[in-house]
């Protein structure tokens, strides 16, 4: 059964055509990146917190930790600063507003592919994570930190940071889609603390003791930090980079399954 | 499609059969049948919670029916949602717009979501900018807009791809009278000049009366009346007599009024009774005499032509408007003629 007048008919609009998934992602991403650029103030906490901890940790612990031979504590702290900067950033707070205002419904009555509503926002997350990581790396350079692995190492270092950030966005997106509640999305930030602190953030793992050492061995952030530190201080260490990548991949698998299943549930018409 | 009757140029723009939607044990929509002709403005009138929005969400592919079947612009809403989506425009309750974007950016995003090519996009956006008619504000953030401006932008955005069928869910709720009149003009113009079929839900009687070619009255998830506003009002009777009474006199007055020969139907409310009659001028004196003879003294007695509210009252036993002196919110007593709308009202 064909249509009566064709979609271009009634109001004289343009011809509607099916578009590819990349176009849909670009459409959603365009809006997300634009709103990101309009709120640069939202970046402030993501930069102040890591800068604060970087300065305080170095001031408090640098001379103490550097008693152990072979540790450059400033290089040791740069990956920690990056994790603090990029973990938990997401557009979930925008998504939850879209749900509340009905703007998500407005998009859902268009032919846009449902998965791209999340993927497009994640593009903006990647942009923000990269910008934050660049600032932290620049701060490291100012503090005298150098990369043993050169330019390629810096690029991989940034790549790991951004990939980690993206893998973590699955948590807030899941909360946003499940609850539709801004307060719950804000609270999802709390999950950052065990991930960030139950790790060798302050001391190398071999100097840690007791339950902390055991817990850290199960925390993916441990392997991320160690992989990133290897790029700074040890040169190319395939095993360390492999473990860091596996940690990110494992987390991404879990959080993306949760987030996209939550999206499917949210947009389900049943 | 077992009962599809979509043939030739008589294809309905919207058709639904036995549409049901339950939420837990609540049957929000409880067996809705409707047919909307192409090019028609169809008003879906009912109080809050009657099932209007749930019906619209099913027709717009946002919600799956629990039972029943519906086609919009020739395609099944469950089996072919993608085909339906590119052919409909939707403005849901309370203009849903991203406040941090400008009007122009929202129109651009909307055009891209429909996959319009660059050239089509430019032309569509230019048309939508004209349509919204909000001047320089088009390049300001939406958070600076008034309620009326948001509504106009919302309407323009929902038309960006030239839909065949436009769904408007309570388009004027919360608007001031001037903005409301503007939206009405716009809806009329879209319909008459561009031939867009409009499905409009409203809780305002005067809105359905002013805009709709045909009206369905929905209450408790069911369509209780359907027809053109004039048909529906004619079916109530030529005139309505509103009798204001003390509470303890209402039941007695209804019994007395029903015995008056020219009275067609009597409905009880909290503050009085409403009488439908073919000849108000003749009936009013008979009613007054009969009441007086029974020792009942009305506080007031008014004759007027029927409104859609009277149609609603006769169909449901209560008034949509809470301001009418005679009857509001009070359920009609069984057997008091509350279902007395005459045949030929075009009901399903």
State pTM to two decimals: 0.82
Please say if the pLDDT value at position B59 is more than 80: yes
- pLDDT, average across residues B114-125: 92
Q: B164-214, pLDDT tens digit by residue?
A: 999 999 988 888 888 888 889 989 998 999 899 999 999 888 898 899 999
Report chain B residues whose CB lies below 8 A from the CB of A111: 82, 85-86, 113-115
Q: Could you state, in order of their start, the residue ranges of all structural domains in chain A?
A: 21-267
The reply to whether CATH 3.40.50.300 applies to domain B8-227 is yes
- pLDDT, average across residues A139-147: 93
| Residue in B281, B265, B267 with CA at minimum distance from that of residue B313 | B267
| Beta carbons of B59 and B16 less than 8 angstroms apart | yes
DSSP chain A: ---SS-TTTTT--PPP----HHHHHHHHHHHHHHHHHT-GGGHHHHHHHHHHHHHHHHHHHHHHHTTSTT--HHHHHHHHHHHHHHTT--SHHHHHHHHHHTHHHHHHTSS--HHHHHHHHHHHHHHHHHHHHHHHHHHHHHTT---TTHHHHHHHHHHHHHHHHHHHHHHHHHHHHHH--HHHHHHGGGGHHHHHHSSTTSS-GGG--HHHHHHHHH-HHHHHHHHHHIIIII---HHHHHHHHHHHHHHHHHHHHHHHHHHHHHH---
| Residue in B219, B216, B238 with CA at minimum distance from that of residue B228 | B216
Q: Do B101 and A34 touch (CB under 8 A)?
A: yes
Q: A40-89, pLDDT tens digit by residue?
A: 887 888 889 899 999 999 999 888 888 888 889 999 999 999 999 999 89
Q: Which B residues in the span 123-182 are in contact with A, Cβ-Cβ below 8 Å?
A: 123-124, 127, 157, 159-164
Residues 6+ apart with CB under 8 A from A116: A21, A24, A25, A27, A28
Please say if the pLDDT value at position A16 is more than 80: no
Distance from CA of A263 to the nearest CA of B (A): 14
The pLDDT assigned to A4 comes to 37
Distance from CA of A139 to the nearest CA of B (A): 32
Distance from CA of A100 to the nearest CA of B (A): 9
CB nearest to A38's CB, from B38, B64, B100: B100
Distance from CA of A33 to the nearest CA of B (A): 11
Q: Do A269 and B62 touch (CB under 8 A)?
A: yes
CB nearest to B62's CB, from A19, A23, A105: A105
Q: Do B117 and A107 touch (CB under 8 A)?
A: no
A141 CB within 8 Å of a chain B CB? no
Q: B302-329, pLDDT tens digit by residue?
A: 888 888 888 888 788 777 765 333 333 3
Q: Could you state, in order of their start, the residue ranges of all structural domains in chain B?
A: 8-227, 232-316
The reply to whether CATH 1.10.730 applies to domain B232-316 is no
ipTM of the complex: 0.85
B302 CB within 8 Å of a chain A CB? no
CB nearest to B96's CB, from A19, A31, A101: A101
């Amino acid at each position: 059964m064909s249509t009566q007048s064709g979609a271009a008919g009634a109001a004289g609009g343009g011809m509607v055509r099916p578009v590819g998934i990349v176009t849909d992602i670009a459409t959603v991403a365009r809006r997300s990146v634009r709103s990101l650029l309009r709120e640069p103030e939202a970046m402030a906490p993501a930069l102040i917190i890591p800068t604060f901890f970087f300065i305080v940790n170095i001031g408090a612990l640098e001379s103490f930790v550097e008693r152990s031979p072979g540790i450059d504590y400033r290089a040791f702290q740069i990956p920690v600063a990056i994790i603090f900067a990029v973990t938990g950033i997401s557009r979930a707070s925008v998504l939850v507003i879209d749900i509340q205002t009905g703007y998500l419904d407005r998009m859902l009555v268009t032919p846009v592919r449902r998965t791209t509503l999340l993927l497009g926002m994640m593009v903006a997350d990647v942009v923000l994570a990269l910008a934050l990581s660049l600032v932290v790396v620049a701060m490291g350079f100012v503090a005298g930190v150098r990369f043993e692995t050169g330019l390629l190492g810096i690029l991989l270092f940034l790549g790991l940071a951004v990939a980690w950030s993206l893998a973590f966005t699955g948590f807030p997106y899941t909360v946003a889609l499940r609850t539709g509640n801004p307060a719950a999305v804000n609270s999802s930030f709390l999950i950052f603390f065990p991930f960030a602190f139950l790790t060798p953030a302050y001391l190398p793992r071999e100097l840690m003791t007791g339950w902390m050492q055991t817990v850290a061995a199960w925390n993916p952030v441990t392997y991320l930090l160690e992989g990133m530190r290897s790029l700074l201080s040890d040169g190319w260490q395939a095993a360390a980079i492999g473990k860091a990548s596996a940690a990110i991949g494992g987390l991404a698998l879990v959080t993306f399954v949760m987030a996209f299943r939550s999206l499917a549930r949210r947009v389900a018409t049943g | 499609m077992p009962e599809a009757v979509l043939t030739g140029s008589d294809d309905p723009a919207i058709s639904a059969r036995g549409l049901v939607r339950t939420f837990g044990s609540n049957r929000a929509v409880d067996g809705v049948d409707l047919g909307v002709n192409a090019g028609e403005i169809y008003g879906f009138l009912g109080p809050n919670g009657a099932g209007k929005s749930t019906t619209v969400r099913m027709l717009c592919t946002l919600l799956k029916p629990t039972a029943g079947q519906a086609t919009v612009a020739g395609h099944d809403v469950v089996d072919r949602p993608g085909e339906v989506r590119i052919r409909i425009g939707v403005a849901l309750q309370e203009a849903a717009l991203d406040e941090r974007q400008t009007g122009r950016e929202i129109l651009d995003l909307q055009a891209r979501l429909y996959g319009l090519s660059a050239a089509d996009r430019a032309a569509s956006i230019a048309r939508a900018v004209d349509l919204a008619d909000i001047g320089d504000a088009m390049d300001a953030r939406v958070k600076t807009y008034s309620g009326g401006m948001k509504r106009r932008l919302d309407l323009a955005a929902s038309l960006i791809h030239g839909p065949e069928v436009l769904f408007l869910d309570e388009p004027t709720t919360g608007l001031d009278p001037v903005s409301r009149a503007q939206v009405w003009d716009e809806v009329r113009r879209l319909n008459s000049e561009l031939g867009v079929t409009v499905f409009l839900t409203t809780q305002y009687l005067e809105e359905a009366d002013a805009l709709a070619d045909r009206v369905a009255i929905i209450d408790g998830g069911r369509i209780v009346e359907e027809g053109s506003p004039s048909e529906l009002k004619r079916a109530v009777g030529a005139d309505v007599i509103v009798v204001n009474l003390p509470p303890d006199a209402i039941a007695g007055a209804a019994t007395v009024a029903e015995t008056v020969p020219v009275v067609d139907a009597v409905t009880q409310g909290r503050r009085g009774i409403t009488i439908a009659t073919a000849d108000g001028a003749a009936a009013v004196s008979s009613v007054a005499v009969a009441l007086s003879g029974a020792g009942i003294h009305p506080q007031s007695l008014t004759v007027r032509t029927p409104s859609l509210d009277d149609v609603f009252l006769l169909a449901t036993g209560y008034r949509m408007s809470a301001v009418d002196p005679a009857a509001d919110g009070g359920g009609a007593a069984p057997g008091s003629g509350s279902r007395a709308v005459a045949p030929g009202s075009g009901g399903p």
